[in-house]
């Protein structure tokens, strides 16, 4: 048979546990009351000690027969100490007691509270001293408290800056920064609005109001403080440029650490973006190296079979004895093989220009001779006749690698022929400048937008205005730019509304180099 000892009178039963809970609550209440009395006594301790000091000074001065002036000075020192450590109220009580003792024991007639101007002067002096010293003490304590608070925030700011340097670059910077700030400063909510992706990140208690006001801080460009929620909403800047907003909810910090934290946030965002740009640039560099190696390998692989095809087609045409249809087919093979051979040469040249050992062998030369030679090298007579060249009457030599500059000119001329209107004239003008000679090629054709005029010199890029025209390799202009840059020259494009796009190229004069 089983028995239970958790009966109604058992101390381990429900009633026993209830009794223990009541005893514990009563004990805690008594302990809290004792703690409050202890705090009250501690606060009143300066006044009690000062009153004891007044009594001791009164007894000592009276027994030693001291004057009212000497005793009043001792009372004044006690009032100062009471005001310094106990505040104005306790110093007032001590002042009244000191004035009463001074009047009763030291101001004639002694042992009497007879009213006299000296009594009121003493009391006024004591009260004035108590007021001034208590105010100065409160001010000093407030300054000390602010200094301690500022020091604490400076330490946290230092900790935040140190941890920002150790942030994981692979993570989302917005979420990492908000979590770091909230943890370091023990805030209720931290909101960050990043203007670049137009995204808001929050750590802690999610709040639509905090998100909205953080975004408004960036849009308005001003820092604000909400006293009701103890929240700062600051503009995140990099230098003088606003890049976002920062919301700090549940904080008693002043404007200095808040704005400093916003600046640290801007630095952290910029650092994360710089790391991302560096990563993308490194990936692009490796991709470009791989692409250059592939182009070089393909160009070399194409070179041998193309040479065989051109030799065979040229031999068949030279032998003769072919029918008209056979001759046309062999001629088409020879032309297409020639086109492929030119493309292979461009690929090889692009790969060679990307190597670190590429150095032009420059010598003085006339730019006009190079332009005329590049035009004469064109395959078709009809293409050569389209160019209308204007030369200066007096020309100075430029400093150039002859073959490389001829290759750059060939790329520009071929690009112009390909994308200009058929049979339209092409204006070529040479102009001498103070330190360089400039070439301008003006043709009628598609008008490339100003935004694309820089990008068309990138490898494999084609402007949207030319996508419907004849297909190109996307290498001509990039090769020309690399060659001109290696000569410390410039090449650029300018749109001409209603007409076409003008390409320009300039090389430094020989005496300048």
Higher pLDDT among residues 204 and 471, named by residue:
204
Tokens 């935040």 label which residue? 160
Q: What is the pLDDT of residue 71?
A: 80
Q: What is the pLDDT of residue 271?
A: 84
Residue 179 scores a pLDDT above 80: yes
Which residues lie across from 507 on neighbouring strands?
437
Higher pLDDT among residues 36 and 369, named by residue:
369
Q: Are strands 500-508 and 436-442 parallel, antiparallel or unpaired?
A: antiparallel
Q: What is the pLDDT of residue 316?
A: 79
Q: What is the pLDDT of residue 8?
A: 43
Q: What is the pLDDT of residue 107?
A: 73
SS (H, E, C) 424-472: CCEEEEEEECCCEEEEEEECCCCCCCCCHHHHCCCCCCCCHHHCCCCCC
How far is CA 115 from each of CA 119, 120, 197, rounded to the nearest angstrom?
7, 8, 81
Q: What is the pLDDT of residue 43?
A: 77
Task: Assess contact for 191 and 247: CB atoms under 8 A.
Answer: yes
Instruction: Give residue-wise pLDDT tens across range 240-251.
Output: 889 999 999 988
SS (H, E, C) 59-106: HHHHHHCCCHHHHHHHHHHHHHHHHHHHCHHHHHHHHHHHHHHHHHHC
Residue 355 scores a pLDDT above 60: no
Reported confidence tier of residue 159, pLDDT bands at 50, 70, 90: confident
Instruction: Kindly write down the DSSP assignment for every residue of 468-499, as one continuous string.
Output: TS----S-HHHHHHHHHHHTT-EEEEEEETTT
Instruction: Give residue-wise pLDDT tens across range 194-225.
Output: 988 888 999 888 888 889 999 999 988 889 99
Out of 404-408, 433-437, 474-478, pick the least confident: 474-478
Out of 49-63, 96-110, 425-439, 484-498, pick the least confident: 96-110
How far is CA 513 from each of CA 86, 376, 409, 509, rounded to the nearest angstrom?
85, 28, 21, 7
Out of 192-196, 274-278, 386-390, 447-451, pick the least confident: 274-278
Q: What is the pLDDT of residue 17?
A: 52
Reported confidence tier of residue 442, pLDDT bands at 50, 70, 90: very high
Task: Assess contact for 358 and 486: CB atoms under 8 A.
Answer: yes
**What percentage of the chain has pLDDT greater than the value 70?**
81
Out of 235-239, 337-341, 392-396, 434-438, pick the least confident: 337-341
Tokens 């300039």 label which residue? 506
Task: Assess contact for 206 and 311: CB atoms under 8 A.
Answer: no
- Tokens (6 digits) for 353: 């220009």
Task: Assess contact for 411 and 403: CB atoms under 8 A.
Answer: no
Residue 467 scores a pLDDT above 70: no
Summarize the confidence of residues 252-258 as an average pLDDT.
Answer: 85
Q: What is the pLDDT of residue 291?
A: 65
Summarize the confidence of residues 392-401 as an average pLDDT.
Answer: 88
Summarize the confidence of residues 54-65 as an average pLDDT.
Answer: 86
């Amino acid at each position: 048979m089983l028995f239970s000892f958790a009966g109604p009178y058992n101390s381990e039963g429900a009633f026993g546990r209830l009794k223990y809970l009541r005893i514990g609550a009563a004990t805690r209440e008594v302990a809290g009351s004792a703690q409050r009395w202890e705090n009250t006594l501690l606060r009143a301790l300066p006044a009690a000690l000062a009153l004891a000091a007044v009594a001791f000074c009164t007894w000592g001065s009276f027994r030693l027969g001291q004057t009212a002036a000497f005793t009043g000075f001792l009372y004044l020192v006690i009032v100062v100490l009471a005001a310094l450590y106990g505040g104005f109220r306790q110093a007032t009580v001590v002042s009244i007691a000191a004035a009463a003792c001074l009047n009763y024991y030291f101001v004639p007639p002694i042992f009497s509270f007879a009213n006299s101007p000296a009594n009121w002067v003493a009391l006024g002096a004591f009260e004035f001293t108590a007021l001034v010293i208590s105010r100065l003490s409160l001010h000093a304590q407030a300054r000390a408290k602010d200094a301690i608070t500022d020091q604490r925030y400076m330490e946290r700011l230092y900790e935040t800056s140190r941890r920002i340097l150790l942030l994981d670059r692979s993570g989302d910077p917005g979420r990492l920064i908000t979590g770091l700030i909230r943890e370091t400063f023990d805030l209720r909510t931290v909101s960050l609005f990043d203007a670049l992706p137009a995204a808001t990140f929050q750590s802690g208690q999610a709040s639509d109001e905090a998100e909205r006001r953080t975004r408004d801080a960036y849009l308005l460009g001003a820092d604000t403080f909400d006293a009701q929620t103890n929240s700062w909403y600051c503009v995140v800047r990099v230098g003088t440029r606003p890049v976002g907003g920062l919301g700090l909810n549940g904080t008693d910090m002043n404007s200095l650490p808040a704005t400093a934290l916003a600046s640290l946030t801007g630095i952290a965002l910029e650092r994360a973006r710089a790391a991302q740009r560096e990563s993308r640039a490194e990936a692009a560099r490796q991709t470009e190296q791989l692409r250059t190696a592939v182009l070089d390998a393909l160009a070399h692989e194409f070179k041998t079979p193309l040479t065989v095809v051109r030799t065979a087609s040229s031999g068949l045409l030279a032998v003769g004895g072919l029918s008209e249809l056979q001759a046309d087919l062999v001629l088409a093979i020879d032309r297409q093989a020639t086109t492929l051979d030119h493309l292979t040469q461009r690929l090889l040249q692009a790969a060679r220009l990307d190597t670190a050992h590429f150095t032009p062998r420059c010598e003085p030369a006339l730019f006009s001779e190079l332009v005329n030679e590049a035009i004469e090298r064109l395959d078709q007579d009809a293409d050569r006749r389209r160019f209308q060249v204007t030369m200066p009457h007096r020309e100075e030599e430029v400093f150039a690698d002859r073959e490389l500059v001829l290759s750059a000119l060939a790329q520009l001329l071929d690009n112009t022929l390909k994308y200009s209107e058929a049979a339209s004239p092409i204006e070529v003008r040479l102009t001498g400048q103070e330190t360089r000679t400039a070439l301008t090629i003006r043709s009628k054709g598609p008008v490339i937008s100003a935004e694309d005029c820089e990008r068309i010199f990138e490898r494999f890029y084609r402007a949207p205005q030319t996508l419907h025209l004849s297909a190109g390799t996307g290498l001509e202009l990039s090769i020309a730019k690399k060659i001109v840059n290696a000569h410390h020259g410039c090449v650029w494009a300018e749109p001409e509304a209603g007409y076409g796009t003008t390409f320009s190229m300039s090389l430094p004069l020989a005496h300048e180099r």
